[in-house]
Amino acid sequence: MDISRRDFVKALSATPIAGVSDVGGSVPYNGSAHPCVGKPLPPWKPGEFQVHFIYTGAAESMFWIMPDGTTMLLDCGDHAAYTRGKKALWLLPSGSRHSGEWIARYVTRVNPAKTDVDYMMISHHHADHVGCEGWGGFLQVADTLKFRKCFDRGWPNFDDPIPDERCDAYCYRYVRKTIDMLVKRDGMEMVKFDVGAVNQVAMLKDAVSHRGFKIVNITGNGKILCRDGSIRNLYADRLGAKGLNENGMSLGVIVQYGPFRFYSAGDFSDCWRLADKTQISTESELAKELDPVDVAKINHHGHHSMPTPLVAALRARVWTACVWDVLHMTADTLTRLSDRNAYPGPRLVATQLFSPLRRIEDAGRPFLADIATEAFDAGHVVLTVAPGGMTYNIAYVTADDESMNVTGAYDFVSRSV
């Protein structure tokens, strides 16, 4: 008997599995009980801060709408994710289009300015974040969208902290091709991301009316912003290395909107041993400089990332991630995110997809109780922060089609209220 993906997910959901329960916490509505379920996602309204974690099954991509309507596409990857075989996730809405096409269509549905986007940002130079030859990514999405300015870690010389071709030459060449074409064709302005800057990524339309909103640049090129305002280069003692981890170069920010705080840092993760055998973890070092947030995007798709010091520092009420592989959101990462010894209280893991096969494999593990039930199917995850930042909402939007129908939603009060 043939069975569809959705029927398979429903069959799993109907079968009780030890360790799975509703997410606790002070939310007035929970998942499928929310009154917006079954209806199209409400359009962005002035004053809201919105982040769309766009699911395609092959890429990481986030579309931001700031309170004044300034927009940004943060990453737009594409690569041959389907070659992962049994580890590959569902390509949605279908495999008939590349990720760049699906992402462009999604953005035009939710963007107040349709095809005009103020910023693009490349978190780092890997194909699942920027695209690659034969698969599109930013080059493909730019067939539809027009970007005003681009933030990149390497511009203009691509030699910080070492020449980029010594990190990932294949991706580096594609990044240069993408940038060169968009600068020449569209007149896109290039800007190097400045670690430590506040509002380098600024509201362009009406910053005065939303003074409580700011974006702080906290990571880039292996550098981190310290509490005292200084910049620390985590790779300072490794500059003679033949290559460095491109993930550790990821651009990261903290967004503050009134009492609300949001963390996003690409695939920021790397570790190595010093000559005296001391192990250095970029994530644990960054943790020393961070305060709690309300929502955090999980580093490196949850693939053996998020050490306990970082989990304990961020103490997020909601953890979310962009995924394209069954091994994203590995059990060790989820165990740390769910650890009440790291910090107490309820939390929601709102990843785009947690494979139903993993649900069987990990049956009985305590972390399953923290995963949004909507994540057992695939969907876009949308963060909407209310004007002023007092409250926020996490919504799951179907990725099966382009209807934008909400499949589940959760309401929260910001931590500092």
pLDDT of the residue at 26: 47
Contact between 216 and 225 under an 8 Å Cβ cutoff? The reply is: yes
- Using CA atoms, how far apart are residues 79 and 90, in angstroms rounded to an integer? 14
The H-or-E segment that residue 309 falls in is helix 308-314
pLDDT of the residue at 274: 79
pLDDT of the residue at 143: 96
User: Band of the pLDDT at 325, cuts 50, 70, 90?
Assistant: very high
pLDDT of the residue at 4: 57
Give domain status of residue 10, yes or no: no
Name the nearest CA neighbour of 299 among 275, 329, 279. Answer: 329
Q: Where are the beta strands (DSSP E) in 195-281?
A: 213-220, 223-225, 231-233, 252-257, 260-264, 271-273, 279-281
Give domain status of residue 16, yes or no: no
Domain count, the chain: 1
Residue 284 sits in a domain of what CATH number?
3.60.15.10
| Average confidence (pLDDT) over 241-260 | 93
- Using CA atoms, how far apart are residues 215 and 33, in angstroms rounded to an integer? 33
Give domain status of residue 282, yes or no: yes
Residues 6+ apart with CB under 8 A from 202: 70, 215
| Average confidence (pLDDT) over 256-270 | 97
Q: Is residue 220's pLDDT more than 90?
A: yes
pLDDT of the residue at 18: 36
- Using CA atoms, how far apart are residues 336 and 248, in angstroms rounded to an integer? 20
Give domain status of residue 42, yes or no: no
What is the value of pTM for the model shown?
0.94
Which amino acid, one-letter code, is at 36? C
Tens of pLDDT, residue by residue over 10-29, are 555 544 433 333 333 445 55
Structure tokens, 18 = 């030890």
The dihedrals phi and psi of 191, each to the nearest 5 degrees, come to: -140, 135
Q: Which residues constitute the domain of residue 175? A: 28-35+47-413
Q: Measured in Å, how far apart are the chain's first and last C-alpha atoms?
A: 53
| Average confidence (pLDDT) over 398-409 | 97
User: Band of the pLDDT at 5, cuts 50, 70, 90?
Assistant: low
User: Band of the pLDDT at 46, cuts 50, 70, 90?
Assistant: very high
Tens of pLDDT, residue by residue over 128-162, are 999 998 888 999 999 999 999 999 999 999 999 98
Give domain status of residue 18, yes or no: no
Give domain status of residue 12, yes or no: no
132 Ramachandran zone, left/alpha/beta (phi>0; psi -120 to 50): beta
Order of all β-strands in the sheet with 318-320 = 231-233, 223-225, 213-220, 252-257, 260-264, 295-297, 318-320, 348-349
- Using CA atoms, how far apart are residues 379 and 374, in angstroms rounded to an integer? 8
Give domain status of residue 103, yes or no: yes
What's the whole-number average pLDDT of the chain? 91
pLDDT of the residue at 23: 38
Q: Which of 36-50, 172-186, 269-283, 316-330 has the lowest mean pLDDT?
A: 269-283
Name the nearest CA neighbour of 245 among 217, 218, 282, 195. Answer: 282
Bridge partners of 271, per DSSP, are 281
Give domain status of residue 142, yes or no: yes
Question: What 8-state DSSP symbol labels residue 49?
Answer: E
Tens of pLDDT, residue by residue over 331-360, are 999 999 999 999 999 999 999 999 888 888
Q: Where are the beta strands (DSSP E) in 298-346?
A: 318-320
Tens of pLDDT, residue by residue over 79-135, are 988 888 888 999 999 999 999 999 999 999 999 999 999 999 999 999 999 999 888
